[in-house]
Amino acid sequence: MNKDMVLLRAVEMAAIASYKYIGKKDKNALDGAAVEAMKVMLGKNIGIKLRVVNGEGELDNAPMFYYGQILGDVDNPHAPTLDMSVDPVEGTNPAAYNFAGSIATIAVSREGTMKQFPEMYMEKLFISPSLAGMVDFQEPLPKIVKGLQKKLQKKTLKAIILDKPRHEKIVKELDNLGVIVRLIKDGDVLGAIDVVNGEADFVYGVGGAPEAVLMASLAIASGAEMSARLVPYQEVWLDESETKERQDLEEKWLAKQTNLQWTTLMMAPDLVNDPRTRFFAAGITAGGTLKPIDYLNGKFYINTFMASHGIVRNLTTTYDVSQINNLKPEVKYLFDKYHR
């Protein structure tokens, strides 16, 4: 089976399985449904093995894909192995409470080419493919913006920023520069998809480090650019009860890394060292250019997105439950279990 279709169907079925729990305020049930759907779709006889490099769920005890887990044709010595970063529901809170900001997403690359990160924070700047080559990522964001405004001879750049207290200062600075800012509650991977689709010029924020690998895959696959720096937990949560413990864990992890410090600027190829990396996503509650999943008259309608080799595809997929049930037993199992 074509591996792109396998991976695309996996994110689609994760969206379909999670549909049952949208708005039900149960993040773990929603995430569990999406995880099971992906595991079922990425089972045997898909022609590849998938090694999880970045999964999800370690901090909040959610159902999870864990580092080093092997999926796919695990018993087939001839099946090639790919690295995989995966988030069955990127944005569990938006999905659980039914507001914009959640997708199912997977990125793959050649074995040994993806960087693994624990649940840490990272400052990320993701630049549109149309602006590739115009940015010195060593500069602070306001200076980057001024440089782009000068080169493009326009002030009204469009930015997507995570709506967090830690970003209030930069939002004010961008506003003073004339940048049109769209604030999002969650989902900087979804924001990066919007940037690739021309909805904005860049997305910026301090968010999860594992998600940076997904964004790096998207950047490489679409012709965009991005930079990233690790951010200590105490800079985001100074007075939380777990800050000292998290700080100690982060320092121990960082001490084991080669050529990586808090100040290290990483570009997309530092996170995913494979120009043939592939990125896949399906809308759950989505938002922007990627629309939410819908169900009507026995059919699921899903907005999906994929990028590879500089080719970007935005697709609308229809699953007719009655027809699929007759063809795919694993899909019938998921439809029966997670029918809303």
Low-confidence ranges of the chain (pLDDT < 70): 1, 56-63
Supply the pLDDT for residue 179.
97
Is 164 flagged in the annotation as binding? yes
What kind and span of H or E run contains 95? helix 92-97
pLDDT at residue number 62: 46
pLDDT at 135 (0 to 100): 95
* Residue 90 counted as an annotated binding residue: yes
Which residues face 127 on adjacent strands?
202, 225
HSE, side-chain direction, 13 A CA sphere, residue 140: 5
Over residues 190-245, the pLDDT tens digits come to 999 999 999 999 999 999 999 999 999 999 999 999 999 999 999 999 888 889 99
Domain ranges of the chain: 3-114+275-338, 121-271
Give the chain's radius of gyration (CA, Å).
Answer: 20
92 is in an annotated binding site: yes
pLDDT at 186: 83
Domain 3-114+275-338 has CATH 3.30.540.10: yes
Kindly state the helix (H) or strand (E) to which residue 18 belongs, with its residue range.
Answer: helix 3-19
pTM check: above 0.85 = yes
Q: How far apart are the first and last CA of the chain?
A: 30
Residue 168 is predicted with a pLDDT of 96
| Same fold flag, 3-114+275-338 and 121-271 | no
pLDDT of residue 1: 55
The verdict on whether residue 313 carries a ligand-binding annotation is no
Residue 75 annotated as binding site: no
Select from 3.30.70.980, 3.40.50.300, 3.40.190.90, 3.40.50.150 the CATH code of 121-271.
3.40.190.90
123 marked as part of a ligand binding site = no
The reply to whether 119 sits in an annotated binding site is no
Closest CA to 105 of 330, 262, 328, 307: 307
**What value, to the nearest 5°, has the Cα angle with vertex 42 and ends 216 and 54?**
35
pLDDT score recorded for residue 59:
46
Give the residue from 304, 337, 326 showing the smallest Cα distance to 10. Answer: 304
SS3 category, 198: coil
The answer to whether the annotation marks 32 as part of a ligand binding site is no
56 is annotated as contributing to ligand binding? yes
